[in-house]
Amino acid sequence: MPRVNTDTAQQAHTFTSSINFDELGNRLRAYRIGASLLAEDIAEQLGVSRAVVYRMEQGKIVKIETVERLAQLLGTSMASLLGVEVEYYSTALGFLERMRQVEQGADRIIAHFEPISLLLASDDYLHYLRAMLLESMPQTTDPAGDTGNSSLAAEVDALLNILQERKNSFASRRPNIVSLIGLRELERFLHTGLVGSMNLSESVRQQRLQAARREVLHIAELMENEPMHVQIALVDDAMPATTFQVFVGPNKSLLAVSPFRFGELPSVRNGIATVTASPEPVKLYEEMIDRLWKTAYKGKDGAMHLRKLLDRIR
């Protein structure tokens, strides 16, 4: 009887893959949504059932050739899909879905958005954001005479659905959030208002200016009340041109950098967002955050600065 190498058998029995298949499934879903593809579309092109695609998105992918075919189909690389380098998202929809997934496992979120983090915005903000996004969209006309408004509205609603899910999850889970807000960006926000275009009637623009004031007042009240899970810092310095988030989880930190804007004059159609767990960029961003935090206005002192800003801009 041939001898069995027990050491080899034991190693095979205890082998653990370095690939996180749950995260692979999450990235697959984010890229699929970003490509505006249904599970049925993927299933048809792979020659499998829709149930198989859903199982893949639940982390049940086992064949490397399947991963390779999926990467080609979704217009990305195997490395990005496997998460071994930078993930690239060319659509705001795919990027927001990925953010929703990452936030689910984050204990701490450090964020900079223009002008404020949507997770901390008032409940009215998404209502105005819908109007702003529609105002910012190009009004194209096809040969049949359709202005494309219905498809634009569907695109906007898909974005807002994910944003609402993120806000609901944040309110339910209450992870710690550190929000860096640029005072210069906030001042511009108050002068411009919650608008997606400057081509608005004066009455509408005045309404949007008042809506922007209410958002800044909401932030001031948060800084005065100082909820246990919310820390806000007002930075009186030039902020990075792109928004960023650092997600701190129990096992690793993740950095997301985005050109997409959801403040006044939003921009969600063009740009490439990135997500990475590489230690070097995460460390560099954390060092920048620490530097900005040390000199920022915080707590009641920060709230006082916001109220002075509101008094100055009428």
Given pLDDT bands bounded at 50, 70 and 90, which one contains residue 282? very high
Residue 37 resides in a domain: yes
Q: What is the mean pLDDT of the chain?
A: 89
Q: Are residues 264 and 162 in the same domain?
A: yes
Residue 8 resides in a domain: no
Task: Write down the pLDDT at residue 116.
Answer: 87
- Pick the last residue of a domain from 52, 85, 118: 85
Calculate mean pLDDT across residues 271-290: 94
Q: Are residues 174 and 297 in the same domain?
A: yes
Q: Are residues 27 and 119 in the same domain?
A: no
Q: Are residues 156 and 305 in the same domain?
A: yes
Residue 202 resides in a domain: yes
pLDDT digit string, tens, across residues 154-196: 989 999 999 999 999 999 999 999 999 999 999 999 999 999 9
Residues 6+ apart with CB under 8 A from 110: 177, 178, 180, 245, 246, 248, 286, 289
Q: Are residues 54 and 146 in the same domain?
A: no
DSSP letters for the chain: -PPP-HHHHHHHHH---SS-HHHHHHHHHHHHHHTT--HHHHHHHHTS-HHHHHHHHTT----HHHHHHHHHHHTS-HHHHHTSS-EEESSHHHHHHHHHHHHHT-SEEEEE-SSS-GGGS-TTHHHHHHHHHHHHS-----TT----HHHHHHHHHHHHHHHHHHHHHHHHH--EEEEEEEHHHHHHHHHH-S-S-S---HHHHHHHHHHHHHHHHHHHHHHHH--TTEEEEEE-SPPPSSEEEEEE-SS-EEEEEE--B-SSS-B-SS--EEEE--HHHHHHHHHHHHHHHHTSEEHHHHHHHHHHHHHH--
Instruction: With 0.85 as the threshold, say if the pTM is over it.
Output: no
Task: Write down the pLDDT at residue 2.
Answer: 47
pLDDT at position 102 over 80 = yes
More confident residue, 80 or 2: 80
More confident residue, 82 or 183: 183
Q: Which of 36-50, 54-68, 133-147, 174-188 is most confident?
A: 174-188
- Among the listed ranges 37-41, 204-208, 292-296, which one has the minimum average pLDDT value? 37-41
pLDDT at position 216 over 60 = yes
Residue 263 resides in a domain: yes
Task: Write down the pLDDT at residue 142.
Answer: 46
Q: Are residues 76 and 217 in the same domain?
A: no
Q: Are residues 156 and 221 in the same domain?
A: yes
Task: Write down the pLDDT at residue 46.
Answer: 87
Residue 47 resides in a domain: yes
> Can you give the CATH number for the domain in which 100 is found?
3.30.870
Amino acid at 21: F
pLDDT at position 108 over 60 = yes
> Can you give the CATH number for the domain in which 62 is found?
1.10.260.40
Q: Are residues 42 and 112 in the same domain?
A: no
- Cα separation of the two ends of the chain: 91
Residue 5 resides in a domain: no
pLDDT at position 61 over 80 = no
Cis preceding-peptide flag for 143 (omega within 30 of 0): no
Q: Are residues 67 and 130 in the same domain?
A: no
Residue-number span of the structural domain to which 63 is assigned = 18-85
Given pLDDT bands bounded at 50, 70 and 90, which one contains residue 14? low
Q: Are residues 34 and 161 in the same domain?
A: no
**By percentage, how much of the chain surpasses pLDDT 90?**
64
Q: Are residues 96 and 79 in the same domain?
A: no
- Among the listed ranges 71-80, 158-167, 271-280, which one has the minimum average pLDDT value? 71-80
- Domain total in the chain: 2
Q: Are residues 90 and 68 in the same domain?
A: no
Task: Write down the pLDDT at residue 13.
Answer: 53
Handedness of CA 23, 28, 29, 35 (dihedral sign): positive
- Pick the last residue of a domain from 26, 57, 85: 85
Residue 33 resides in a domain: yes
Residue 6 resides in a domain: no
- Pick the last residue of a domain from 85, 101, 118: 85
Residues 283 and 153 sit within 8 Å (Cβ to Cβ): no
pLDDT at position 12 over 70 = no
Task: Write down the pLDDT at residue 211.
Answer: 97
